[in-house]
Amino acid sequence: MATWLAKMEQMILLCVLSTCLSAVHPQNFLLSPKWVPAGHREREEHGDVTAMDKIIKTNEFHATRIIDGTTTLREGDIAVSTGRRSRICFARSCLWSKSVDGHVYIAYTLSAEYSDIDTKLIKKGMDNIEDGTCIRFVPQTHQRDYLDIQPKSGCWSYLGSRGGRQTLSLQNPDCMQVGVITHEFMHALGFVHEQSRFDRDNYVTIMWPNVWRDRLRNFEKFKTESLDLPYDYGSIMHFGKYAYSMDGEPTIIPKSNRNIKLGQASSLSHIDKLKINRLYQCTVKDD
């Protein structure tokens, strides 16, 4: 009798435990909303995912806001060092040097960890920048200042030229998309995100209640140079409409037309190229 009662108690306990576990959605248990941008699945279904959406998704999973003891990420993917080299590069304050032939040669090294396919994708990102501009990426030989492209944790870059070797992280395979690569190279050239422009409130509305509470600082404004160019809703440097959404609702809404698409998935916009040419005073035709 005692044995039979013990077995009945075990069966009842198992039934109760099974009922409790079934009430817990596995996605809620495994993936907290803090780490999965709400609405990301919906954007993928409609084909509206931007380069920055992909970066946010990767960095929230793999890269923390503190890369190491002295470096943090600002706006999701801009590396900022503390201490002696804490200055923030905006526009003309830290450009790469221009050669006498009118080109800006940016030296780089590529990690041996990258596959042939990875290398081809990175080269395509370089081609995006070079096409129609005076920027040229060249393998590092004797140059003191150069980009050290590494598959670190996440997709991120410092802003502009910092002097000496500077890391640009393109984690594989998560960052191995041409738009993501191009976006990080734009940061390395000295460009911040488009919605960080000081005059952005004339063009977009930031829906603060929809933004993750601990990511509000990613929507700060900075006194950057507009280079006498119009606000570019379609810039590869623009956040997507649902960037850092807490509930799947838009975090950025264009003021002129709510249906304007924000950001780019894989290529520079026309104005992005104009920005490069204006900032680096390229002699190529920029109209």
- The answer to whether 103 is a known ligand-binding residue is no
**φ and ψ of 262, to 5 deg:** -100, 135
Residue spans of alpha helices (H) in 23-169? 26-30, 40-45, 51-62, 116-130
Tokens of 239: 């956040």
- The answer to whether 187 is a known ligand-binding residue is yes
- Catalytic residue, chosen from 184, 194, 220, 249, is 184
Collapsed DSSP state (helix, strand, coil) of residue 238: coil
- The answer to whether 183 is a known ligand-binding residue is yes
Residue whose tokens read 């570019």: 232
Amino acid letter at 195? Q
Cβ-proximal residues to 239 (8 Å cutoff; 6+ apart), any chain: 50, 52, 193, 194, 195, 219, 251, 252, 262, 263
Q: Is 9 designated active site?
A: no
Q: Which residues are catalytic?
A: 184
- Which residues make up each annotated binding site for Zn(2+)? 183, 187, 193
